[in-house]
Amino acid sequence: MKVLVSDSISENGVEILKKAGLEVDVKTGLKPDELKAVIGDYHALIVRSATKATAEIIEAASNLKVIGRAGSGLDNVDKGAASKRGIVVMNTPGGNTITTAEHTIAMMFAVARKIPQANASMAEGKWEKKKFMGAELYNKVLGIIGLGNIGGEVARRAQGLEMQVIAYDPFLNEERARQMGIEKVEIPELIRRADFITLHTPLTNETRNLVRAETISTMKDGVYIINCARGGIINEKDLFDALESGKVAGAALDVFEKEPPENNPLVGHPKVVCTPHLGASTQEAQENVAIAVAEQIADYLVHGTIRNAVNFPSIPADQVSALQPYITLADQMGAFASQILGGEITGVSLEYKGEVSCLNISPLTIAALKGILSPILEETVNFVNAPFIARERGIEVKETRSSDAGDYHSMIAITIKSPKQELQVAGTLFSRKDPRVVKINDFSVEIAPEGYMLFMYNNDKPGVIGNIGSTLGRNGINIARMHFGREREGGMAISVVNIDSPVSDTVLDEIRKLPNILEVKVINL
């Protein structure tokens, strides 16, 4: 398989890819048209921040399986377009954590003590002590918006400086905040109380223009703002106005709405410290992210192991053996159920019961969606794009967990809804590795969901099984397994026959015309 490295990474990263048996081309500085012209030859693309993996580029990437970002930010990758094409998108979130946190602290010191401005003044031969009066960090309130890996490291360092740390993060619970010695607050309170505000969130619809005239107006007079996260979180015009008015005492910016910034009045402003997106620019960090992304790409292409994917749940190595049989079960059950139901699907409900409910169920839900969608859509459905396709088609997906699996140690129940009906299929693992469907609506069964199958609704009458077997035998079709279930004696029943080869339409018509056969469907797993 071929890997294109389109931005500069450490040579050690390139060597890891080559040692894994991958063919590697390093072509940096490609223009969009040049990248579009060659991307179809590659199975993997490794980028940093310079290459823009747009929807147009991804559309031309006919063989692409994975995009790896040597770093954490993915603003330059169209994740939606990649997901739709079934392309895994990975980043290396931990590789630049420490260096970005250190840069944030450095920027906070620099803007508080006006270090760059004083240095520039000295370089001009001046001695302007009174002009560069600064502010201490000691005992000041630091408000951190986004307490992920980087925000957490910033908090630790700020506590070492004896700052009072308050933080907002929607995923931070009170207990974890107490353990970290941090006061958890909502954004309005953080903005109102903080002397220094530092941003550590991704750029999303919710965080775009988070710092703007409206929010700045509720801040303390003389507040300092630091952004080493993403351009666009701060409305740059509103920040400029606040600096001019004196509402904001200073700003330290490593990122901008447009990079490199052009004619940006914040660059060169006497109250602003600027750096050219240097948060991850240390030798140690670049080595770390290059090695990390190379190992992740190699693991995926060679072994199929997914780590740090943003559009597919990563499975820790110690959970793979436990999850893989259930992934297979969910996939096969989904395909089995959708082929029985047929037609439009409006909703999918998944119930995880017993031991499986204690596992990471995200990969299982994705596997079930893949199985459900694959038989009914012309485009290729895989473990990456299945949730995207489900959302795109308005399919509502629900998950529930229960500790009670009845007579089984674990059970997965999938309910598929259409405008006219719904179907429930429940399954488990025999010997903890062999998938079995054990219930179809109210019918108790024991079906191995694999290969070619005939699924039939029939009346529970004598001769049905013999007629089916005879018809298949006359047409040279070997039966591998037969499974049956009924509501009650003489009532409605189902018959499922595993066969070694597909049946023709002619044979199918023969079976439909047999006595007491109500409906026949061909299933291919």
Spatial distance between the Cα atoms of 364 and 352, rounded to a whole number of angstroms = 9
Q: For the chain, state the CA radius of gyration.
A: 30
Tokens 């490295």 correspond to 5
CA 489 to centroid of chain Cα atoms: 49
- C-alpha pair distances (Å), 400 with each of 238, 361, 518: 45, 10, 34
3-class state of residue 266 by DSSP: coil
Spatial distance between the Cα atoms of 366 and 431, rounded to a whole number of angstroms = 24
Alpha helices (H) along 114-173: 115-123, 149-160
Tokens of 399: 């998950």
Tokens 């290729």 correspond to 380
- C-alpha pair distances (Å), 217 with each of 73, 232, 251, 472, 485: 29, 18, 15, 79, 70
Q: Catalytic amino acids?
A: 230, 259, 277
Dihedral sign (CA 157, 158, 164, 168): negative
Q: Which of 386, 400, 394 is nearest to 350 (CA)?
A: 400
Spatial distance between the Cα atoms of 396 and 35, rounded to a whole number of angstroms = 37
Indicate the burial class of 504 (C-beta count within 10 angstroms; 0-12, 13-18, 19 or more): exposed
